[in-house]
Amino acid sequence: MAVAVGGAIGAHTVAVLCTIAWSLLLAAAVDRAFVGGEGLGAVAPVLVAMAAVLVVRSAAGWVAEVRADHASGRLRARVRADLVAHLFAVGPAGLGRERTGEVAGTVGAGVDALHDHVTRFVPAAAMAVVAPVLVFVAIAVLDPWTTLILLFTGPMLILLLAVIGRRTRALTERRFDELGWLSAFYLDMIRGLPTLKAFRRSGDGADTIEDVSRRFGDTTMEVLRTAFQTSLVMEWAATAATALVAVQVSFRMIETGLPFGTGLAVLVLTPEFFLPFRRLALEYHAGQSGDAALARIAEIEALPACAPPVLGPVDGPTFEHPPAIELVGVRYRYPDASGDALDGLDLGLGAGETVALVGLSGAGKTTVARLLLRFVDPSEGHVRADGVALTDLDPAAWRRSVAWVPQSPTILAGTVADNVRLGDPAASDERVRAALELARATTFVDALPAGADTVVGERGLQLSGGQRQRLAIARAALRDAPVVVLDEPTAHLDDELEAEVVAAIAELLRDRTALVIAHRPSTAAMADRVVRLEAGRVVGSGR
Amino acid sequence: MSAGEGPPVLRRMIAVFGRLRWWVVLAGLLSALTLGAGIGLMSMAGYLISRSAIVDATEGLTLAIVGVRFFAITRAVARYLERYVGHLGTFRMLTRARVWFFAGIEPLAPAALAEERSGDLLTRIVDDVETLQDLPLRVMAPPIAAALAAAVGSVVLGALDPALAVVLVVFLLLCGVVLPLATRRSSTALTDALAADRALTNATSVEGVSALADLVAYGREDLFVDRLAELTERRRTTERRLARVRATNVALSVLLAGLAVVAALALGVALLADGRIEGVMLAVVPLAVIATFEGVAPLAASFEHVDRTRAAAGRLLDLVDRPPAVAEPPAGAELPVPSGEGRVELDGVRFRYRPEGDDVLAGATFTIPAGAQVAVAGPSGAGKSTIAALLLRFWQPQAGMIRLDGVDLAAMGSEAARATVAVVAQHDHLFDTTVRDNLRLGDADCDDDHLWSVLAAVALDDVVRAMPGGLDARVGEDAGRLSGGERQRLMIARALLAEAPVLVLDEATAHLDPATEQRVVEGITAWRAGRTTVHVAHHPPVSFSPDLVLEVRDGQVLERA
């Protein structure tokens, strides 16, 4: 990362060199007026030179800021793009439902936390090495004796920082964990506020917040005291060294005739030796949150890829006619699970046949659907379509032959038509309309303020569960794929709608090979065959 | 900033902290002491070595040497105390802010916060509260410290010659007041735009990750990728401009601080030539100026913190200032109390969520007799859940009257209403704590035996027994460690414990398989032992035999045979 901000570090180095030159000029000016007794006219060129050096120094500071920002922008764009590409490779099955918020947070705010890390912490860390060395060399040239003080305090400071720093680091990391925890706790309380109110317990909620927050503050102060001791030591070392330099320089001016100009230059330069350490301590926070973000990003990037990503349209063989699908001896175990989700499953779907899967939750119904969508591939056994193993096909090309209606479809920010066009981006308005008609969605869509052009989703109009479901069916209809996978499509519907949607689905499934996960009798009833799963195996099959 | 009306946002926010403000003042004073000791240290050191240049013995220098050491120690100790006091105060203030905000939005939830219910908006609110931690140490204390340090520096230079102090003050004002104000003008719009785009990035990320399965299934990963790329591109333009503003700011403050030294030194040389200051004092001039700017230069960069905390405080105040959707009876009045029989009457109730919206209930009239077992049916969106929310006084009807045991709901106030009616709603929340703590929300003093019996009633006892820790098992964020059906049963158990005269179950058994649903419904009926119980569902549970079936349709409530 230091390479990325190389430009910024170079500019900072120029600024340090300017500071050294400026300090020497300052000492020279005072020396010529005080010791040399020269007037303003004679000293003026030195003062003009000081101003000139200042201009260079502030220009270098400007460049450093802009370069660091530039590096951060490029780095974050790249990290975010890589992360998203990897998420698609991991796929929905690998990600796990409960981690959605955390993963989304890393893609958004997590990557942004790298900004301060790159623009502040990394340059400060680099300059904590470069600047003291340059200042040390300057002082060594001017007055080697003074470097003894720096040699004593400098390494002592670094040693102390390393020793205390390691301890503080562990403590600070814990503090960050706790801070994240406290924030999550507060969010939990606010989200639960209506529930607390319903149970007449919001007063207790406020008390709990005060109590937890106060206790958190107290324990954090314990931790921070150590951090403050570090800064006390650092501050003390810096000021003590400055005082020591002043005293010993003045003694040697009297005893050994050290020139005043040299003494003053050394005195002015001494704080500059310690300044970078203090700057680094100030940016410690940025470093910590950047490290935490990097760790979370690495964690996600370590998730195994379940299917290669598809960016943009992919060409490949598609199935023109509904294929016969067979699952032979399929075994599947989720990465963190202790048992098999599917335990040697054999299941055949004839060409154009609709098979309903029933069984208790955890029986493996969803895993079968995921296999057909290639969100997961079997650990053992095969899934074949017309005799071709799915694993021999490009996942994206295969998925073009599959339409999917999930139990809780996600509505993307955009218009109703945009959401239906997820099934086929190139579809004409007429085809979108036909798909909505098939899904029995035209009545509610026409009642929306702008019909199919109404913006829905997070910042638009909120749709009910039944409305979302019908849009998902329209998506699938527009897809016009030979294979359809449906996950309890009538879960959110009332009786009247259910009858309508069952009719819509029957129309959708005609002449397609279909797998339907069914909880409700009406869903199972539309299948050609009902298959019962138990503990990852087929235990019954019938009409 | 829509909270721009009335007193300035930050002043209102600071007023929330009350006497805790003095912590910040103390931290500011200690910070000024640190800076002042720095000025003293450098001035004394300059004087010391200047003096050494013209004497040939160390005798007369003792005072200066002691002074140098004194300021060095003072500075280190003051810095330590400043940080300690500052952080202690910050934690206290943050605790106050959390409680203040929670109490502030309590009367508003959930009605007046309806559009904030989506996850990422609430997350932003919580982030805004956290942002307030910058208020004490990065917004309030630095100007106090800088002003005092500036005063110390001016006194030191003024003692040498008033003209020197004038030069110092001019540059201090340029660097500490003019520059931050000028920068703020160009930065505020950029900071706001960037904050909005950051929020949009977060929202897009949430949307993209939630829609991952849909996007992958339909091969449209590019939708998410393109949207993020577009957003990144737009943000870069803003970020680049903001970086230029910041860079210019840093460059100018370095330049001004340096020029102040050069100007003061030039004046010092001239004064020395005129014999108006002593030669040994010349070195003090630049060193004192450098040390004074140490406290003032950071002010130039503090505009970002000011903008950020002001924006955060503005959003929080906007929320807290909203009028509550439900009017409470005047405090202190003698309120009527329902008898607890469990009779519910709606009389011509008309209700709509928004003034411009459609009527959800248009003159709903019905009576549920005390102790009745009731099923409420009807198509989705007909207003079934609305009735439950009205009974809890989360909203209030525009016309008509709701009575519990013959007492007007509006007159009895929310406390009594919620003591009489318990609801298991679809959007109920389970807290990220233990099974026991979640259950005890229904009844704070309940012992474990009782908890197990209520868990048995909802057929959840075996599940909880199998969890590590049993009642002490944590349910996770959003009860993520439980399945949908287990979550629902835990909510039902919690509501049963409240032992309210009226219990409304809104689609509470929707995620259960038929066999479990039957056990749970029987368990509920047995537990309720003849008290008023209402099942709201578009598929009423098969095993439930109601005394009364109500149908909600087109804003009306009809009694079905």
Measured between CA atoms, how close is A328 to chain B, in angstroms? 23
Measured between CA atoms, how close is A7 to chain B, in angstroms? 14
Measured between CA atoms, how close is A516 to chain B, in angstroms? 16
Helix then strand then coil, in percent of chain A rounded to 5, is: 65, 10, 25
Enter the pTM of the model: 0.82
Interface check B472 vs A, CB under 8 A: no
Best of B88, B234, B254 to mutate (most A CBs within 10 Å, chain A): B254
Checking if the pLDDT of B531 tops 70, the result is yes
Residue-level pLDDT at B33: 96
Q: Which residues of B touch A268 (CB under 8 A)?
A: 286-287, 290
Confidence of residue B1 (pLDDT cuts 50, 70, 90): very low
Query: What is the per-residue pLDDT across B456-499, written as a single tens digit (0 to 9) for each?
Result: 999 999 999 988 899 999 998 778 788 778 899 999 999 999 99
Do B182 and B255 touch, CB atoms closer than 8 A? no
Confidence of residue A165 (pLDDT cuts 50, 70, 90): low
Answer yes or no: do A258 and A180 share one domain: yes
Checking if the pLDDT of B173 tops 80, the result is yes
Answer yes or no: do A268 and A398 share one domain: no
Task: Give residues 269 to 328 of B whose Cβ lies within 8 Å of A.
Answer: 269-270, 272-273, 279-280, 282-283, 286-287, 290
Weakest mean pLDDT among A288-297, B264-273, B389-398: A288-297
CB hemisphere CA count around B148 (13 angstroms): 18
Answer yes or no: do A366 and A465 share one domain: yes
With vertex at residue B553, the alpha carbon angle to CA B551 and CA B556, rounded to the nearest 5 degrees, is 90
- In angstroms, the CA B73 to CA A232 distance is 10
Do A78 and B222 touch, CB atoms closer than 8 A? no
CA distances from B187 to A67, B10, B184, B303 (A): 19, 18, 5, 8
Provide the pairing of β-strand B399-404 with B344-351: antiparallel
The amino acid sitting at A304 is P
Do A445 and A473 touch, CB atoms closer than 8 A? no
Provide the token pair at B282: 């010349």
Alpha helices in B161-220 (DSSP H): 162-173, 179-210, 212-217
Measured between CA atoms, how close is A397 to chain B, in angstroms? 9
Do A322 and A102 touch, CB atoms closer than 8 A? no
Query: What is the per-residue pLDDT across A295-305, written as a single tens digit (0 to 9) for each?
Result: 889 988 888 87
Interface touch A375/B428, C-beta < 8 Å: no
Number of Cβ atoms within 10 Å of the Cβ of B333: 10
Which residue is it, tokens 């609801």? Answer: B423
Answer yes or no: do A338 and A463 share one domain: yes
Measured between CA atoms, how close is B195 to chain A, in angstroms? 11
The amino acid sitting at B138 is R
With vertex at residue A180, the alpha carbon angle to CA A174 and CA A185, rounded to the nearest 5 degrees, is 120
Q: Which of B132, B108, B146 is nearest to B10 (CA)?
A: B132
- In angstroms, the CA A287 to CA B442 distance is 44
The amino acid sitting at B283 is A
At residue B5, what are phi and psi to the nearest 5 degrees? -70, 155
Q: Which residues of B touch A80 (CB under 8 A)?
A: 228, 232
Answer yes or no: do A264 and A393 share one domain: no
Interface touch A104/B210, C-beta < 8 Å: yes
Answer yes or no: do A187 and A285 share one domain: yes
Residue A306 resides in a domain? no
- In angstroms, the CA A238 to CA B243 distance is 31
Answer yes or no: do A287 and A402 share one domain: no
Interface touch B429/A194, C-beta < 8 Å: yes
Checking if the pLDDT of A312 tops 60, the result is no
* 3-state helix/strand/coil string of A505-520: HHHHHCCCEEEEECCC
Residue A224 CB contacts under 8 Å (≥ 6 apart), including other chains: A175, B83, B84, B87
Query: What is the per-residue pLDDT across A69-105, written as a single tens digit (0 to 9) for each?
Result: 999 999 999 999 999 999 988 888 877 655 677 788 8
Measured between CA atoms, how close is B11 to chain A, in angstroms? 23
Interface touch A264/B46, C-beta < 8 Å: yes
Interface check B205 vs A, CB under 8 A: yes
At residue A446, what are phi and psi to the nearest 5 degrees? -65, -25
Residue A501 resides in a domain? yes
- Nearest CB to A84 within list B56, B75, B225: B225
Confidence of residue A156 (pLDDT cuts 50, 70, 90): confident
Residue A314 resides in a domain? no
Checking if the pLDDT of B2 tops 50, the result is no
Structural element, H or E, at residue B549: strand B548-553
R_g over Cα of chain B: 34
Residue A215 CB contacts under 8 Å (≥ 6 apart), including other chains: none
Confidence of residue A188 (pLDDT cuts 50, 70, 90): confident
* 3-state helix/strand/coil string of A62-122: HHHHHHHHHHHHHHHHHHHHHHHHHHHHHHHHHHCHHHHHHHHHHHHHHHHCHHHHHHHHH
Number of structural domains chain A divides into: 2
At residue B439, what are phi and psi to the nearest 5 degrees? -65, -40
Interface touch A246/B48, C-beta < 8 Å: yes
Alpha helices in B218-330 (DSSP H): 221-273, 284-301, 303-320
**Taking every pair of C-alpha atoms in chain B, what is the biggest distance, in angstroms?**
116
**Domain carrying residue A536:** 325-542
- In angstroms, the CA B161 to CA B164 distance is 6
Judged on CB neighbours under 10 Å (0-12, 13-18, 19+), A469 is buried
Provide the token pair at A292: 């935490």
Interface touch B41/A242, C-beta < 8 Å: yes
Q: Which residues of B touch A103 (CB under 8 A)?
A: 209
Alpha carbon of residue B401 to chain centroid: 36
Interface touch A50/B266, C-beta < 8 Å: no
Structural element, H or E, at residue B362: strand B361-368
Q: Which residues of A touch B109 (CB under 8 A)?
A: 193-194, 197
Which residue is it, tokens 């959605």? Answer: A100
- Nearest CB to B72 within list A189, A239, A492: A239
Answer yes or no: do A36 and A93 share one domain: yes
SS3 state of residue A220: helix
Residue A318 resides in a domain? no
- In angstroms, the CA B508 to CA B535 distance is 8
- In angstroms, the CA A94 to CA A76 distance is 24
* Interface predicted TM-score (ipTM) of this complex, two decimals: 0.86
Residue-level pLDDT at A226: 74
Do B393 and B409 touch, CB atoms closer than 8 A? yes
Measured between CA atoms, how close is A251 to chain B, in angstroms? 7
Do B324 and B108 touch, CB atoms closer than 8 A? yes
First to last CA, chain A: 63
Checking if the pLDDT of A307 tops 60, the result is no
Query: What is the per-residue pLDDT across B275-287, written as a single tens digit (0 to 9) for each?
Result: 999 999 999 999 9
Q: Which residue of B has its CA nearest to A252?
A: B52
Which listed CATH number (3.30.470.20, 1.20.1560.10, 3.20.20.30, 1.20.140.10) goes with B7-187+251-320?
Answer: 1.20.1560.10
Best of A5, A57, A107, A419 to mutate (most B CBs within 10 Å, chain B): A107
Interface check B555 vs A, CB under 8 A: no
Q: Which of B261, B248, B256 is nearest to B297 (CA)?
A: B256
Do B27 and B141 touch, CB atoms closer than 8 A? yes
Interface touch B208/A104, C-beta < 8 Å: yes
The percentage of chain A sitting over the pLDDT mark of 90, rounded to a whole number, equals 44
Across chain B, what does the average pLDDT equal?
Answer: 89
- Total residue length of chain B: 561
Q: Which residues of B touch A185 (CB under 8 A)?
A: 432
Interface touch A76/B119, C-beta < 8 Å: no
Q: Which residue of A has its CA nearest to B260?
A: A51
Confidence of residue A433 (pLDDT cuts 50, 70, 90): very high
Residue A99 resides in a domain? yes
Interface touch A410/B223, C-beta < 8 Å: no
CATH class, range B344-560: alpha beta
Provide the token pair at B181: 């104000």
Structural element, H or E, at residue A486: strand A483-487
In DSSP notation, B445-472 reads T--HHHHHHHHHHTT-HHHHHHSTTGGG
Sign of CA pseudo-dihedral A119, A103, B121, B208: positive
Provide the pairing of β-strand A388-389 with A325-332: unpaired
Residue A364 resides in a domain? yes
Q: Which of B267, B356, B232 is nearest to A112 (CA)?
A: B232
Judged on CB neighbours under 10 Å (0-12, 13-18, 19+), A42 is middle
Residue-level pLDDT at A309: 47
Do B238 and A73 touch, CB atoms closer than 8 A? no
Residue-level pLDDT at A118: 92
For residues B492-516, average pLDDT: 90
Weakest mean pLDDT among A226-235, A245-254, B322-331: A226-235
Query: What is the per-residue pLDDT across A465-485, written as a single tens digit (0 to 9) for each?
Result: 788 888 999 999 999 999 999
Measured between CA atoms, how close is A376 to chain B, in angstroms? 12
Judged on CB neighbours under 10 Å (0-12, 13-18, 19+), B247 is buried
Checking if the pLDDT of A43 tops 70, the result is yes
With vertex at residue B228, the alpha carbon angle to CA B225 and CA B232, rounded to the nearest 5 degrees, is 135
For residues A447-455, average pLDDT: 87
Measured between CA atoms, how close is A489 to chain B, in angstroms? 14
Q: Which residues of B touch A109 (CB under 8 A)?
A: 198, 202
Residue B45 CB contacts under 8 Å (≥ 6 apart), including other chains: A242, A243, A245, A246, A267, B68, B287
CATH number at residue A145: 1.20.1560.10
Answer yes or no: do A293 and A331 share one domain: no
SS3 state of residue B313: helix
For residues A12-24, average pLDDT: 97
For residues A307-323, average pLDDT: 63
Q: Which of B10, B27, B213, B9 is nearest to A92 (CA)?
A: B213
Answer yes or no: do A232 and A367 share one domain: no
Answer yes or no: do A34 and A150 share one domain: yes
Interface touch A310/B98, C-beta < 8 Å: no
- In angstroms, the CA B325 to CA B353 distance is 10
Confidence of residue B115 (pLDDT cuts 50, 70, 90): low
Interface check B259 vs A, CB under 8 A: yes
Which residue is it, tokens 């107290």? Answer: A218
Query: What is the per-residue pLDDT across B402-427, written as a single tens digit (0 to 9) for each?
Result: 999 999 999 998 999 999 999 998 77
Across chain A, what does the average pLDDT equal?
Answer: 86
Weakest mean pLDDT among A8-22, A34-48, A116-130, A282-296: A282-296
Number of Cβ atoms within 10 Å of the Cβ of A541: 12
Interface touch A213/B95, C-beta < 8 Å: yes
Q: Which residues of B touch A495 (CB under 8 A)?
A: 379, 538-539
- In angstroms, the CA B351 to CA B383 distance is 9
- Nearest CB to B221 within list A88, A229, A271: A88
Do A244 and A149 touch, CB atoms closer than 8 A? yes
Provide the pairing of β-strand B361-368 with A529-534: unpaired
Do A290 and A113 touch, CB atoms closer than 8 A? yes
Best of A62, A172, A186, A202 to mutate (most B CBs within 10 Å, chain B): A62
Q: Which residues of B touch A190 (CB under 8 A)?
A: 102, 105, 122, 125-126
Answer yes or no: do A159 and A23 share one domain: yes
Residue-level pLDDT at A531: 93
Measured between CA atoms, how close is A538 to chain B, in angstroms? 19
Interface check B72 vs A, CB under 8 A: yes
Residue A148 resides in a domain? yes
> What is the domain partition of chain B in residue ranges?
7-187+251-320, 344-560
Residue A159 resides in a domain? yes
